[in-house]
Structure formats: structure tokens, C-alpha cells
Structure 1
């Protein structure tokens, strides 16, 4: 009886691939963040010429994490930091929002409206405008 000859396309690894899969005769394909013959070496993404973070970078096992300097916030992409826009500089009485241009606008709670100073809130008389829900003589 004859046995088939071993070929290079068989996925047989004498040493296990720690962070990857065996793809050939003693050949590993490493998961992202790992390197080496058995995928047992961590890639230091923070030390690469093209840094993954706009501010501070911390290497982790198989990955990395970005941090922002004080006064900056991490964006949803997980790598970009943008300058913190502070509502406190507007001295709003209740709350504020920042528009797309970066301007701060004060906000008021339901039943209140913005006063002439554009910072404080005043009671809104709903009976004087068309938004009231009262019947005609109430």
C-alpha cells in the first residue's frame, strides 16, 4: 500500500501557531497585531513610523490604545483627539450645545426661553403664543 507524499500545501505545523492559524508545512498566518514564526511576538503599533494615535499611544498585547492629552477628547474613531470645547466658557444658566462651526449656544429647559443676554433662562408664558394647549376660556 502506498501513502501519498507530503506536499507544501498541507497545513501541518510541528510547533503550534499561538496567535494565528497554520496554513502550510510549519507556516503560520498571524492574526493582526502579532508576528514571528509561531505568531508569538507582539507588534508594537505605537513604535511604527506611522503612529496610529494623534496624541498618546499605549501598546497592548496584540493591539494598542489611544489616549488624549488634557484638554482633548478622543473621537469615535478611537485614534483622533480634538480640542475640548467647553460650555463653561459661555456661562449658560442651564445647558449649552456646540454647533458645527464650533460656536456655543445656551439652551433652556422646557417651559423656559433664552433671555436677552443669551445666557440665562426665563419663564415662557405659553398662554401668549400659539403653543398653549388650553381651551379658549381657561
Structure 2
């Protein structure tokens, strides 16, 4: 008997029977490619691929004496061993999106897009310097400070506000900010002040 056959004792001697997954006369047994076998039912034209591939929903892989089901890239085989399920690469961490990018799962794949304040293709993202590219909204009397993925605004000396809105500080109106001599007049200016000695003083 062939190595892939079973010897069966009979009353007149013995018989060789090819094992499951093989075909032949027992003396010679060849592998059956289960994946290539098509149904022989009359309505074969209307049958789904699942039946024609022995229940594999996507990929049928022939092996010696058997077969198994497999899945395309980015899919995983379900517990039934036949159907495939989309893998969420974003939640599993199996993606190549940049650390400053958003990963979005899609059916059978994923996409990457840079976060606000960054530019690139999603796998490579570079910080946008809003301060040098003039894409900020800091006030004209404020300093722009670039940060990772954004920027901050701070009013210049002599002004007060949140950086996006700055108003002049009247230093002359406060004893704390008015450092003019007692014998000098304080004149407020845009972002500062000047001291002028009164008549009779220099």
C-alpha cells in the first residue's frame, strides 16, 4: 500500500484504501486539492464562493491531505476557522501612523492623517511653525511662541491681555509702574511712558 493509504484486511487478503484527502487505487495515492474542487450540483452557477472553497470566506490553502482557510492582510481568522474579520489596526497598535497623527480604521486597512498643527502624509508629520508662517492670530503688540502642534501668544511689555487681544498699560496712572521723579511729569505712550522734568528742574 502507498504511504498515504490504509491497509484493510479482507477475507480474501487485503485492500489498500487512500486516506482522506488523497485519491487513487491505494497503490498510488495523490493529494486532493480541495481548494480547486468545484461543486457538481446542478445550480453550481448560483452557488457562493464560500461553498466552492469548502467554506473559506476568503482564502483556501491546500495542504498535503487537507486544507485550511486563511485571510488577506489586515484580516484575522475567526474561531470558526473559515470566516475572516477586519482587524482594527488603530486600537491594536499594528499601524505605522506618526505619533502626531490620527489613525482611522477602514475595512481591510487604515489611514493616517496629521493632527492640527502638523503637516505631512500621516506616517511622517512635522510641526508647523505658526509664528514664522504668519498663520497665527496673536495681537500686533504680542509675541508669538511656537509649541509642538500649536503656539501661544503673550502681550509685549507695556501691554496687558491674553496675547490675542492686548491693550496699552497706562503706567502713569499707577504709583507702581510710574517711576518718574516727583519733580517730573509722566506721559503715557503706546507700550511705555516718558518722564519730563517740570519747569525749574533738569
TM range (shorter): 0.3 to 0.5
Higher-Rg structure is: 2
TM-score by length of 2: 0.34
TM-score by length of 1: 0.47
